[in-house]
Structure formats: C-alpha cells, structure tokens
Structure 1
Amino acid sequence: MTKINVVALGGVRENGKNMYAVEVDDQIFVCDFGLKYPDNDLLGIDIVIPDLTYLEDNIDKVAGIFLTHGHADAVGALPYFLSEHQVPVFGSELTIAIAQIFMGQHPRTKKFKDYHVIDDKSVIDFGDVSVSFFKTTHSIPGSLGIDIDTPEGQVVYTGDFKFDQSAAPMYQTDYQRLAQIGSKRVLALLSDSANAESPYQIASEREIADTIAEDFKYHEGRIIVAAVASNIMRIQQVLNAAAATNRRVVLTGRDVQKIVQTAIKMDYLHLPNGEILATTKELKQLKPEETVVLETGKMGEPLKSLDRMATSRHRLVHINEGDLVYIVTTPSHAMETAVARTKDSIYRAGGDVKTVTDKFHVSGHGTRTDLQLMQNIMHAENLIPVQGEYRNLSAHAEALHEIGVPFENIFIPKVGDIISYDKGKMNISGTVPAGNTMIDGIGVGDIGNIVLRDRKMLSEDGILIAVVTIDRRKKRVVARPKIQSRGFVYIKTSKDLLAECGQIVKDTIQHNLDDKKFDWGDLKQDVRDKLSRYLFDQTKRRPVILPVIMEVNQNSAKRQ
C-alpha cells in the first residue's frame, strides 16, 4: 500500500504563510511556498516564513515546488529555501514571473533557473504519481489548483479560489475539469478557508468594476487609489475607469511598477490607450481632474503610504483639499485600527475617503456556499480546511458538515501536524518541526522569543543603564555610578529617583566586593534585582536594566 502523508508547514490557524507538503512514499510534493507579514507584536520583524527544517532534512525526497498563484502568501518564501537547495519550481506563466521578481531581490537567488511554466493542460509524471492542474478564479490571472494523483486516490489543493459566474475569460474557473477530477476518487481535499466565516455573498467583479467607474466619473478632483500590487484584476479596473474619465495614472510604488510592467508584457494587463500611464515627473504638470495616483506602498501594503501622504511626509504626493482617496483593497481584520487612523489623517488633510467595501462584500476567497459547492463537485472522502485562522477553519468544517461530511473525516491541523493515510483511513499520526522563522533585515531565524520579549519590554518601559567603575584589588567603587535612561523617565524631572538608583548600585557593588566569593555574573544580577525592585516600587514600571561595570587598577594608572 502506498504511504501518503499531508503535512501543513504553514497556512493553518494563521493568515498567510501557505505551505503544504504531500508525501507519497519517497517523494515530497510542496504546494505553495508563502510568507506572511508580521502582526504588530512582532516588533521590527520584516516578514515571517515557515520553519523549513522538515524540507531541509528530507531534501532528497523533494520532487518539486508547485505554486498556485503569484501572491506573496504563495511565493514569497522561495528565496530563503532556493538559495541553499536546487529544487524545480512549477507554476503558470505569470506566477513564475512574479516568483522571479521575489527571487531577484536576493543576490543569492538571482541566477536560479530551474523554473517550469505549466498551465491547466499540463500533466507532470513522477512515476507512480502524476501532478496536474485546474483553473480557478482569484484576483490574479494564472491561478491554478493542484491535483496530485496517487495509486490510492487524488490529493487536491484548491489554492485561493472563489466562484464568480461573471468573471472575465482569463479568470474563469474550469468547471468541466473540476467535474472530471471529482469523477475519480478524491482521497483528500485541501480547501481555501479564508472567507468561510463570512455570511455575506461576494459581489461579482463586474459589479465592482462598474462602481469604481461610477465613482471616478462623479469626482472632479484628483483621485488617489490604494491597492495591493499583485491584485491585477483590481488594477485593470482602475485603469479602465481612468481611461473612461480621461485621466492618466501615475504609479508611485516600486512593487506596482515591477508587477504591472510584467503583467503588461505578458498581456495579462491591458492598457486602454497608449498614454494612460504617466511618469512621476509628469505628476506636477497634470491637472487634478486628469490625475489618478496608484499607490501600493511598501510590500503591497498601502496604508502607511496613505498616512505619509496625509501628513505631508510622502516623497511625491501630499493629500490636499478636494482629493479623493479610494481604497480598493480589502484590509484584514487585524488592520481595522490602522485603517480608521489613516482615514482620520486623510480627513484632517482635507481629503475624502471611499472604500470598495462601502457598498459590497469583496474578497478573492470563496464564501460558505462556494466551499460547499467545491466539495459537492469533488466528493472528497476527507477534508482538510487550510488557509485561515482557527475560526475560519472551524467555520469551513461546519459548512461541510451541513452537507453531510462527518466530522471524523474533517481534519483541522496545527502547523506541523502529519495527516496520514493508513489502512483505508486518514488520521493525525504525529508532528514534524514547524513554526515561524523571523526575517529581520538580512538576518534569517536569528530573532527568537527572547529578543522579541526584550523588544517588547523596551517599547513598553524603556531602558535604564548604570555605568560604574571599580577597583577590585582595593575593593572599592572608584567613581559614583552614572545612570542613563531612555524611554523610561524624563531625566530632568527625575533627578532624585536616578540619584537613589546610583546609591543602590554603589551599595550593591560594594557589598559584592566585600564578599570573599566575588563573581561577575552574581554582581550584575544583584544590581539588576535591586534596581528592578526599587523602580517597580517607585514607578510600577519594569524597564530593561543594563549594568555596565568596568574594572581598573588605580596603582597601575598612577605609574603610567
């Protein structure tokens, strides 16, 4: 009997970081290789990728990496693995092109060449296993689901998908192919859960396009559009609306320029006329009623850029009276506070704000009924909800149970869980090393919980530094300790507090010098403990305390 394991290395009980390994005997097929952007409590962290230990320990088994679409949550972690390992990468034409953009940002992966462009007609033979694909509807062209056909049945991964009957041809779902897959045995279905909790019907892209065009038509001033760089469908709608109202579009973000130019070259993005795009140099010459500024911001997150525009800190654009800021992306629930704060800044600057979600529920992910329809087409024996926080996965499980799927056939894994097929049944059989790898600057995985804890403490209560010089031979403090504070108290108004801190440090060090069992580690810890207790009693705060103790020999100093 063929041995089959499904391992969620990311993308479950969290938003983003999608990565799923399907192990069939001695071959591992990796579906997506994504990152996620950090929550507010991950101070200073740029991005988060999955723990790659399992793949690195089994690198000889990895048959390939199969990508469903070109968003960062599906391709963004590739450079951190392919810089060390040569593994073939498969994806649609646009998906591979965007993956190459990510890879090109890292010196060690610029020359990687093992890319394989596939489409929904491709079938890749790996001996007893074959991998094929099917078209899905998402916010970017070239989105594909993955079908891994094994001797025991098919393991199907939907990727990001929704059902939209009015989708443009390049975004349409191939229902006939879905039915063909469902006509054979589907052992397990890994299905997108990101929108499973929402009770609202998703608006069709045609409705959204008409609304954007109407809002452009009735605004007389400048329009600043905030979008995600890789949402090609939305960018196309903005270009069409701009052309219909005789406006020119200025691209201000590096992300959007690279991705838009790539999509244009591949004919996935169509310019309504040859002069629709304007350069940043032309921005000042354009009249407000002729201008659309398309801002994606760093890493595709436009809110910070909008805030800089509203507070006159943006390098190109400052929001003025009469400007319309149009947010055509759907921020996550975690960003609601930031969205409200950004809107307030825009109104203060004299601008107006509209969002595409004011009138519609907008998402690139399937609703509850879409998820039920996918299962009704696939007839999967076992369901593995993926791509979403636990509440999304649980809502997906409830929706599937409504249409007759027993709960014992639905698995909600934790990151690292192994779901095994054994003796005709699937079950969670163990775990592999898994979790988060933090990326901070050029550092990969060198930031752990202790560093994050220290950063959190520094952000909340600041730091207090005690500098003191001692002569250990004479057992005395040479000079009165100097106390410095940053982010803890205002020094000029806290002289008495800091003076007492200096006395505590001096007394503590003297006590340790008098002790016959002198130890540097004990001395520094004693200083920290004594200061920490005193400062908490006086201020109810716990700053990071850093003792800096230097040793001199005064006799040697006098001779010199």
Structure 2
Amino acid sequence: MSNQVRIIPFGGVRENGKNMYALEVNEDIFILDCGLKYPENELLGIDVVIPDWAYLREHASQIVGVFLTHGHADAIGALPYFVSEFDVPVFGSELTIELAKLNVESDPQAKKFTDFHVVDANTEIDFGDETVSFFKTTHSIPESLGVSVKTPLGNVVYTGDFKFDQTAAASYQTDLARLGEIGKSGVLALLSDSAGAEQYGTPATENQIGNFIADQFAAHEGRIVVASVASNILRLQQIFNAAAATERKVVLMGQDLEKIVRTAMRLNKLEVPDEDLLVSPKDMKQLSPEQTVILATGRMGEPIKVLQRMATGEDKLVKITEGDLVLITTTPSHAMETTVAKTRNLIFRTGAHVEAIADSLRSSGHGAPADLQLMINFMHPDYLIPIQGEYRVMNRHAKLAEETGMAADHIFLTQRGDSLIYDGSTPMHLADSIEVGNTMIDGIGVGDIGNIVLRDRKILSEDGIFIAVVTIDRKKKRIIAQPKITSRGFVYVKASRDLMHEASELVTKAVQNNLDNKEFDWGHLKQDVREQLGRYLFDQTKRHPVILPVIMEVNQHAHHARAKKTTKGDAPTTEQE
C-alpha cells in the first residue's frame, strides 16, 4: 500500500487561538493541540468558540491520541469537550497535563476521563509506522514542547507557540541541539507559529521584563495592582519575585488563579520566595497599602475588564484609589487596544497611576521575524504551513520564509478544513477541503447557537424588539381584545403614542383580513403581521426591530363558559407562538 500524509487545520489559521490540527498518516490520525478561542464582539453572548470536529466523528476509530504543546487555553481549552466525545489518550508535559486535568475536571461531561500521559523532551512513542517525539521550546509557560511525528514520508513538525530567548530560565529554554537533529533527519512539513510575524524592533528578553517589573515595584511606595493573564506562569514568577524583593504580600484574586498557582507551585514550576508571600482576599485589610500587591488576572482580555470594575467601584473587594500604581503586564491584541485605552482613562480619573510593560518594552510569547526565520533554518522543511494567527501574519510569515530561500509554491496559507496531501510521488498539494465551522459554547449549550440566533441577537442589540399580542375568536371571525403593543429597546413608548396607535390599527387590520379569508392559516397570519409591521416601522423609524406577533385563540365554548362565570376547568384555550 502506498503511503500518504494529510494535514487538516481545524482551527488556528486565519484567527487567533483555537489551535487544532489533524495529521493523518495512512489510517492513523494524530491530533495536535485542542484549543479554544474567546469570541470577538460580534459573537453576542457566546462564552467560547471551539473547533467543529464533525469529520473526526466519522473517523473516530482512526484517532491515536491528542498531543498538547503547552497549558494555555488556545492549546488545551477545548479538551473537556473533545474527551467527552472521543476516548483517546492525551499526551503532554507534566504541567500541561495538570492544567489540562483542571480543565477536564471542571466539566461534568468530561470529569471521568483519566487517560492522561506525561511526556518530556526525551520521550518517544511508537505507533507502528509512526513515531512521535518532542522538543523543548520557549514560551511564557514552563515545559512547552514542540511535536515531531516521524512518518514513512518524513518528519512532520509542529512548533506550538515559541520564541527564542537566550536568557530564558532552565524550564523555559529551547533545546537548540535537538532542533538541529530534527532538521538533519529531514523535515517534510513544518507547521510553525506565525503570531509574532509582524513584530518590529528587537523584542525584550524575559530578564529585561523581570527587571522592569522589579523597578516599578521598588519605585512605588503605595499599593500596587497588577493585571496579568492567569496562565502566564513566567509573568506570575516575575511578579512574585518583585513582591518578595520589596517586602510586599500578593493577594490572589479569583479561584481560577489560585488553582493555577497552587498547581504550578506543587510541581515546582512556580517558586514562592517567602512562605507567607501569598495572602487571601479576606485577609487583605490587615495589610498596609505599601505592603500590598493585588494580582488581578483572567483569560485573555479579562484582566483589563477586572481593572475596569475596580476603577468604577463595581468590584466587591477592591476599589482603585489615589496613590495606587496599576501595572499592566499583558500585551493587548489589536482588538483590545481601544478597551485598554478606555480602561487607562478610568484609572487615571481615580487619581491612580498606570504603567504598562508594552509602553516601554516590546514583549511577546511568540517569535519575532528573526525567530521564525531561525526556526526555518533549523528545520530546513520541504514545505511550510504558517499557523496560529490572522491571515496578515500568516502571509508575513510566508514572505519571511521566501527571504530564507524557500520557494513560494512550497508554502501553504491554509484555512479551516483545507486538506494538504503528500504521497511521495507528487508535490504536496491542496486536495478537496472538508467543511469545518465553529462550534459555539453558550452556558451549558454546546453547538446549539447558530447564525440565525446570532443574527437575532445582533438585531435585538441594535434595534430592539416589538411585540404585538392579539386575542381572536376564529369561529366567529372576530378579534376579542384589541392588540396590546409592547416594545423593548426600540422606541420610548410614552413619547411614541401615535406610532403605537398606528401599529395597533395595522395589526388589527392584518388580523381581521386573515380571519375573513376562507383559507385561514396560522403561519400566514403571523407572517402577514410581521411584514405589515416591518414595512410601517421601517418607514417611520428606519429601524428593523425583531417583530414578535403573539396570537391567542379563545375557543367558543370556553368563551361562553367564562361569560357565565362557571367553575374553573372551563378556562380559555390558547395558541401562542
């Protein structure tokens, strides 16, 4: 049988987050990362977005395992939903697996899953014709690993999130020699992180960032509020070090943060210089301002939202006041820049001072252009697949690869569901794509929110809702009660009495016309009311509210019984949308 390698992105291309890639080698499928992304503003009410794995359901028996690169949500966040459907082993470094377990245990559908396996840079897993091995990379969390899958047609290498930093601490260091070994053994395809492709200038080393945080702590005499992403273990370590050096205590805000910190401490991935460095929120009042560091964290943009609540007095535990230093240690995405600017404005109004790492240093957990080119030169891949980032950074990554001498037709800018196929006899090429959408999570609902619901939410948020309630007696062909018009988020009712009156008359006319029609149809009646109202309201207001006609029917017997004030049990029957 001839060999074939197939690479399918399920997420992580032309978007930020949701990393998930399927490597299909003959009859085996290897899942590389299983992440989520947090929604953009247009996904109203959606909590998180995960990959759509309809294709994988059809080929579930072929999946040999999930291979995780690191413990951030963009790599492990969708795992609880995945393992609740697919009973396959999950592999990752010690810290990555512990953080993955925290995610899985918090999900009722997945908490019984236990098939976790800890690997390190020395692990090799034999799957017959394929062998999976790992290599150390540098990211903002310890024990990040890249994945190399040795196939009969060559190595397929997935970098995960990475950068090069010659000052990185031991548990964050890249194994450069191992990269060279993989490159010498022959790399068929390199799936490489593109998120930092647009960075310019020389990025700061983590030593420089640590020193910047320490200097800010030393220069300020009052209380310090720090905003950081909860899973950025490296940043938490630098904050702890700076707090200990200035004889301050750190207050952990939030249960999720405490779980992550305690897990990292238990595994010795996060060192606490003083035993009594950490203080619970309930003991915070015992500290003087100059002793206090409040650590506000969350997922992605949430630390900034926490700061907003603290600045406006909405937070129950902390209110930012004059004399505080607010230190923003996250690097905001382009989408968050306006939110960060508004937040800083709110903080300055309180009399507090704001400093941000991004104002003074260029920091990122992702490789700068020179790092991306260095990875290409280590690996010497036959084919490059830029991943992890929006199209513009993937495209920039492709240009950087061409500068190293790669041919443009050996670089693939993919989108979700694309199938790259290589069989050893013809060049790698794009084959028939599969349909891969987004699965949206809203509360406990998984995938039950579609485009129609999102469209209605958008309309409701912009133009409101207009409800018309009418009671009819279909047999007597008459309206029992005049339409009751209700509006929310559309117009102010008391100031729009004429509009409401005209709308009521319009509904009455539309309903009566349908009652007089011999071919009475409920669906036609409601649609007629929607159309008549829709045209009128747009003509008067140039707005398109959601129009909800509620038609109730009173049957003749019940209506007659009610008129005679008979006993209960003869209540009117209704039909309602």
User: Normalized against structure 2, the TM-score is what?
Assistant: 0.96
- Which residue does the alignment assign to 1:382? 383
**Match for 1:324: what amino acid?**
L
- Per-residue CA deviation, residues 46-67 of structure 1 (Å, 9 max, x unaligned), is 0000001122111110010000
**Partner SS, residue 216 of structure 1:** helix
Tell me the distance in 2 between the aligned counterparts of 1:526 and 1:517: 14
Tell me the distance in 2 between the aligned counterparts of 1:14 and 1:171: 26
**Partner SS, residue 9 of structure 2:** strand
Match of 2:478 among 476, 479, 499: 476
Deviation at 1:350, TM superposition (A): 2.0
- Which residue does the alignment assign to 2:257? 256
Is the 8 Å Cα contact of residues 229 and 299 (structure 2) preserved in structure 1?
no
Is the 8 Å Cα contact of residues 230 and 299 (structure 2) preserved in structure 1?
no
- Per-residue CA deviation, residues 29-79 of structure 1 (Å, 9 max, x unaligned), is 110000000000000000000001122111110010000000000000011
Map residues 33-432 of structure 1 onto 2, 5 A cutoff.
Answer: 33-297=34-298, 301-422=302-423, 423-432=425-434
Deviation at 1:512, TM superposition (A): 1.1
* C-alpha distance 234-556 of structure 1, shift in aligned 2 (>3 A): closer
**Partner SS, residue 482 of structure 2:** coil
Deviation at 1:315, TM superposition (A): 2.0
Deviation at 1:472, TM superposition (A): 1.1
Tell me the distance in 2 between the aligned counterparts of 1:45 and 1:150: 39
Match of 1:526 among 528, 534, 538: 528
Tell me the distance in 2 between the aligned counterparts of 1:409 and 1:523: 59
Deviation at 1:433, TM superposition (A): 2.7
Deviation at 1:282, TM superposition (A): 1.5
**Match for 2:184: what amino acid?**
S
Match of 2:514 among 504, 512, 515: 512
- Per-residue CA deviation, residues 253-310 of structure 1 (Å, 9 max, x unaligned), is 2221110100000000001111111111211111111000001136772111111111
Is the 8 Å Cα contact of residues 457 and 543 (structure 1) preserved in structure 2?
yes
Tell me the distance in 2 between the aligned counterparts of 1:7 and 1:299: 26
- Which residue does the alignment assign to 1:433? 435
Tell me the distance in 2 between the aligned counterparts of 1:490 and 1:200: 53
Deviation at 1:217, TM superposition (A): 0.5
- Per-residue CA deviation, residues 7-45 of structure 1 (Å, 9 max, x unaligned), is 101000000000011000010011000000000000000
**Partner SS, residue 35 of structure 1:** coil
Tell me the distance in 1 between the aligned counterparts of 2:343 and 2:183: 46
Residue 19 in structure 1 maps to residue 20 in structure 2:
yes
Residue 549 in structure 1 maps to residue 531 in structure 2:
no
Tell me the distance in 1 between the aligned counterparts of 2:70 and 2:94: 10
Tell me the distance in 1 between the aligned counterparts of 2:426 and 2:509: 72
Deviation at 1:550, TM superposition (A): 0.6
Deviation at 1:349, TM superposition (A): 1.9
Is the 8 Å Cα contact of residues 253 and 298 (structure 1) preserved in structure 2?
no
Is the 8 Å Cα contact of residues 418 and 429 (structure 1) preserved in structure 2?
yes
Is the 8 Å Cα contact of residues 402 and 408 (structure 2) preserved in structure 1?
yes
Is the 8 Å Cα contact of residues 50 and 437 (structure 1) preserved in structure 2?
yes
**Partner SS, residue 428 of structure 1:** strand
**Match for 1:559: what amino acid?**
A
**Partner SS, residue 113 of structure 1:** coil
Tell me the distance in 1 between the aligned counterparts of 2:470 and 2:556: 15
User: How many matched pairs?
Assistant: 560
**Match for 1:237: what amino acid?**
Q
- Per-residue CA deviation, residues 362-395 of structure 1 (Å, 9 max, x unaligned), is 1000011111111111110000000000001000
Deviation at 1:341, TM superposition (A): 1.4
**Partner SS, residue 436 of structure 2:** coil
- Per-residue CA deviation, residues 322-378 of structure 1 (Å, 9 max, x unaligned), is 111111011211111111111111112222111110111110000111111111111
Cα root mean square deviation, aligned: 1.0
* C-alpha distance 462-300 of structure 1, shift in aligned 2 (>3 A): closer
Is the 8 Å Cα contact of residues 227 and 300 (structure 1) preserved in structure 2?
no
Tell me the distance in 2 between the aligned counterparts of 1:459 and 1:272: 49
**Match for 2:382: what amino acid?**
E
Is the 8 Å Cα contact of residues 225 and 327 (structure 2) preserved in structure 1?
yes
**Match for 1:69: what amino acid?**
H
Tell me the distance in 2 between the aligned counterparts of 1:122 and 1:300: 35
Tell me the distance in 2 between the aligned counterparts of 1:107 and 1:555: 50
Is the 8 Å Cα contact of residues 47 and 439 (structure 1) preserved in structure 2?
yes
- Which residue does the alignment assign to 1:539? 541
User: Normalized against structure 1, the TM-score is what?
Assistant: 0.99
Tell me the distance in 2 between the aligned counterparts of 1:117 and 1:555: 72
- Per-residue CA deviation, residues 193-229 of structure 1 (Å, 9 max, x unaligned), is 0011222321100000001000110111110001001
Deviation at 1:421, TM superposition (A): 0.3
**Match for 1:398: what amino acid?**
K
Tell me the distance in 2 between the aligned counterparts of 1:21 and 1:460: 39
Is the 8 Å Cα contact of residues 470 and 484 (structure 2) preserved in structure 1?
yes
Gaps of 5+ in 2: 563-577
Gaps of 5+ in 1: none
Is the 8 Å Cα contact of residues 469 and 479 (structure 1) preserved in structure 2?
yes
Tell me the distance in 1 between the aligned counterparts of 2:351 and 2:448: 44
Tell me the distance in 2 between the aligned counterparts of 1:538 and 1:424: 64
